[in-house]
Amino acid sequence: MKPLLLIPVLALSLTAGPTSAVEYPLQDTPQSGGAGSVAQSDHNAYSLPQANLPISRRLDFSVGNSFFRNPWVIAPSSTDARDGLGPLFNTNSCQGCHIKDGRGHPPAPGETAVSLFLRLAVPAGPDTDPQLLREHGFVPAPVYGSQLQTAAIPGMQPEAQLNIAWQEREETLGDGTRVTLRSPEYRIDNPNYGPLPDELLISPRVAPPMIGLGLLEAIAEQAIVAAEDPDDLDGDGISGRANRVWDRAEQRTVLGRFGLKAAEPNVMQQSMAAFAGDMGLTSSLAPHTDCTPEQQCERFVDGGDPEVSDKIAAFVNFYAMSLAVPERRDMDSPAVQQGAQLFNDIGCAACHTPRHVTGELDGRPDLSNQVIWPYTDLLLHDMGDGLADGRAEFLADGNEWRTPPLWGLGLTQQINPRAGFLHDGRARTPEEAILWHGGEAQASNDRYRGLPAALRQSLIAFLNSL
């Protein structure tokens, strides 16, 4: 492979806001996920095991894959290994949200939302139990809980219907190019369990891609914490901070790194929380679903105690930890190389940190000591009012989101043609996603808007090469 060129950006003003003196490395290998990277780039590119996964563990991956992909059913059933769905739920399989292990999408008009749902909460008050905030990070909505379930088994009513109206506006970039952005307005219709709370807080979430999760878990905590700068002491305008969340297995507060607000500490807890919230299935780690006492879900037959056995949970966790990252493409393209330099020059790399090295992860040599290029710092950042959901989660406030990894970004709509970008899928293209960046990222947004079209296209070409 030819060496990457450092192509200077000439005759441009990139001075909107403070800039960082940090020199971020340019990726010099297509192996974004280290030795486990895979060369496939078709519609199955997100669904492959780590290339360096030992043959002896491939069966475990396949078994986990079956429980991830196949639908769960209503209890009682002859399929007793995967029964107990609901009574309230959003989808009947992990694959229902994470389409081909990739991103979800907002529903089309008149379509039931599946891979996008609403998290719910109400503001904490002076009488809120501190233990509730310590262990859950927010106050669930009375009666409706922490997530709006839009589906139910026979004999049970869904909580409500979710409808989205889109508002479009046109924005003009520095060279006169016009871009249309859309923003969603969420409406909860026909609530079946009484009036919704007056101060209901909602947070739309579209399912993120599953690739590289084990590698992200293998990054040493010290490396993530070392990048924190909550008071912006270096003056670069970036004040990332780690979330601190409740680890259910260890019964203590730890670093958060998964979920759109980094509210989960590891892949196992993230997975079991999804089983409970998205499918109404209990596990040892999440023994209660989001069904509240007022909804009387105990009237229905369950699928066992727990419904997701520890053995199945281990298989699903292994699968989720082992999905490989696709290799980069087109790295020799001059436009891609120029875009990589621009990504650093306009400040994107200050949050989307390109390079990490994983530590030692017990029993997982395929994930240990790997040089990886995920383009994330796994920290919380204020993304401005335009993307705010107003719903706090542990230390994350209503304006903060965890920096999402960008590896595999260019294959997003190869995997799911309807996939959207950002936390709620509102952005239809990477460019729209950039133009929504505010808060700490506003200066980078302004620099991008000020670039001539050819250089903006180079930056997008770089993103599409990931």
DSSP for 331-348 reads TT-HHHHHHHHHHHHTTG
Residue 37 and residue 49: Cα distance in Å, rounded?
9
- pLDDT of 325: 98
Cα dihedral 228/229/231/235 (nearest 10): -170
Q: What stretches of 39-143 show up as alpha helix (H) in DSSP?
A: 58-69, 94-97, 130-136
pLDDT digit string (tens) for the chain, length 466 residues: 333 334 444 334 454 455 555 789 999 999 999 999 999 999 999 999 999 999 999 999 999 999 999 999 999 998 889 999 999 999 999 999 999 999 999 999 889 899 999 999 999 999 999 999 999 999 999 999 999 999 999 999 999 999 999 999 999 999 999 999 999 999 999 999 999 999 999 999 999 999 999 999 999 999 999 999 999 998 999 999 999 999 999 999 999 999 999 999 999 999 999 999 999 999 999 999 999 999 999 999 999 999 999 999 999 999 999 999 999 999 999 999 999 999 999 999 999 999 999 999 999 999 999 999 999 999 999 999 999 999 999 999 999 999 999 999 999 999 999 999 999 999 999 999 999 999 999 999 999 999 999 999 999 999 999 9
Residue 300 and residue 435: Cα distance in Å, rounded?
47
Residue 38 and residue 51: Cα distance in Å, rounded?
6
- pLDDT of 2: 35
Question: Which residue from 139, 135, 190, 134 is spatially nearest to 161, judged by alpha carbons?
Answer: 190
- pLDDT of 79: 86
Question: Which residue from 445, 448, 381, 376 is spatially nearest to 409, judged by alpha carbons?
Answer: 376
Contacts of 412 (CB under 8 A, 6+ apart): 102, 103, 209, 419, 421
Give percent of the chain above pLDDT 90. 93
- pLDDT of 194: 97
Phi/psi at 319 (5° precision): -60, -50
pTM of the model: 0.95
The secondary element (H helix, E strand) that includes residue 168 is strand 161-172
Question: Which residue from 355, 370, 345, 356 is spatially nearest to 36, judged by alpha carbons?
Answer: 370
Helix, strand and coil content of the chain, in percent to the nearest 5, comes to 30, 20, 55
Q: What stretches of 5-161 show up as alpha helix (H) in DSSP?
A: 58-69, 94-97, 130-136
- pLDDT of 345: 97
Contacts of 360 (CB under 8 A, 6+ apart): 218, 368, 369
Residue 267 and residue 281: Cα distance in Å, rounded?
17
Question: Which residue from 138, 110, 108, 112 is spatially nearest to 123, judged by alpha carbons?
Answer: 138
320-352: string of b/e by CB count within 10 Å (b at 16+)? bbbbbbbbbbebeeebbbbbbbbbbbbbbbbbb
- pLDDT of 73: 97
Hey, how many other C-beta atoms are within 10 angstroms of the C-beta on 273? 21
